[in-house]
Amino acid sequence: MRRYTLKNILVVVGIGALILVLAYFTHGKFLSEKVFELDDARVVPSVEIEDGVDYVPTDAKYLASQHFSAIAGTGPVTGPVIAGMTYGWFPTLLWILFGTIFIGCVHDMGALVASIRHKAAGIADTMRNYVSKRVWILFNLFIFFTLVMIIVAFTDITTSSFVNTIELADGKVVGGGAITTSSILYLILPVIMGLLLKYTKNSYCRTRVWTSSLCEDERLSSGLN
């Protein structure tokens, strides 16, 4: 029975991955060429105003991995979980796939392109060039209160996981201490990875494998397997 369950899961994951790949080459190409009109010849801020501190030309693989790890907000993190508990796995799958393609992709890509074309300015500074002062102040207030809600939501989720116990699928109960230890390790590992990439000759892939192995060892030792 477990074998067929795993097979079904792999089929769903495979279909989802295929949809995302197709969207990358179709919807992504449409956004790049028709909507944002990306041009490789355009000079980016990290090159135009390079100062070695805030503006540093960086390899694409580092930028992509950083953005991938930082993309999720309270909506993508908690939304599908709540939807899965309420409506089941299929609506949640649709949420993740089509929300990523038609909402998350457009939002993040648009924000990045706007920043690049305004000397790496944030969204608030970028908007200042196009709206009145009153609208700009209201937008900043909106950002402020939105960030407050995000901080509250993440704080609540994090503290709950730290102090409560969680029962895993196999019946094992994991305490908050194990989750706290793993969380601290996940915060330390990016620093270690950055130092390895900067000061050693380890390739990007070998460094990722090494840090991922540490994460897995920590998960196993903490009981999060």
**pLDDT the model gives residue 208:** 54
Domain boundary among 130, 150, 181: 130
Check whether residue 207 and residue 105 sit in a common domain. no
All residues at 6 or more sequence positions from 91 whose CB lies less than 8 Å from its CB, including other chains: 83
Q: At what angle do helices 133-163 and 176-199 cross, to 10 degrees?
A: 120
Mark whether 83 and 39 lie in a shared domain: yes
Same domain as 58, residue 14:
yes
> Is 95 inside any structural domain?
yes
Does 88 fall in a domain? yes
In a domain, 141, yes or no: no
Of 120, 113, 98, nearest to 45 (Cα)?
A: 120
- Based on the fold, state whether residues 124 and 189 are members of the same structural domain: no
Are 93 and 44 members of one domain?
Answer: yes
Q: Look at residue 156 and tell me if it is in a domain.
A: no
- The tally of domains found in the chain comes to 2
Same domain, 101 and 171: no
Same domain, 105 and 174: no
Do residue 19 and residue 116 come from a single domain? Answer: yes
Residue 14 sits in the same domain as residue 125: yes
Q: What is the pLDDT along the chain (225 residues), one digit of tens a residue?
A: 445 577 788 888 899 999 999 999 999 999 999 999 998 888 889 899 988 888 888 877 777 666 666 665 556 666 777 777 788 888 888 888 888 899 888 988 898 899 889 988 888 899 888 999 999 999 999 999 988 988 887 787 777 767 766 666 666 766 666 667 777 777 787 788 777 777 776 555 554 555 555 454 444 444 444
> Is 140 part of any domain?
no
pLDDT computed for residue 77 by the predictor: 66
Last residue of a domain, one of 77, 106, 130: 130
Q: Does one domain contain both 110 and 207?
A: no
Are the C-beta atoms of residues 73 and 111 closer than 8 Å to each other?
no
| Its pTM surpasses 0.75 | no
With respect to residue 138, please indicate whether it lies within any of the assigned structural domains: no
Q: Which two tokens stand for residue 146?
A: 């939105």
Same domain, 120 and 222: no
What Cα–Cα distance (Å) separates residue 211 from each residue in 74, 115, 177, 202, 223?
26, 31, 21, 12, 18
Range of the structural domain that residue 80 is part of: 2-130
Q: Provide the β-strand partners of residue 174.
A: 166
In a domain, 15, yes or no: yes
Q: What is the pLDDT of residue 29?
A: 93
pLDDT for 139: 92
SS3 per-residue string spanning the chain: CHHHHHHHHHHHHHHHHHHHHHHHHCHHHHHHHHHCCCCCCCCCHHHHCCCCCCCCCCCHHHHHHHHHHHCCCHHHHHHHHHHHHHHCHHHHHHHHHHHHHHHHHHHHHHHHHHHHCCCCCCHHHHHCCCCCHHHHHHHHHHHHHHHHHHHHHHHHHHHHHHHCCEECCCCCEECHHHHHHHHHHHHHHHHHHHHHHHHCCCCHHHHHHHHHHHHHHHHHHHCCC
Domain boundary among 87, 106, 130: 130
User: Is 222 contained in some domain?
Assistant: yes
Residues 60, 125: one domain?
Answer: yes
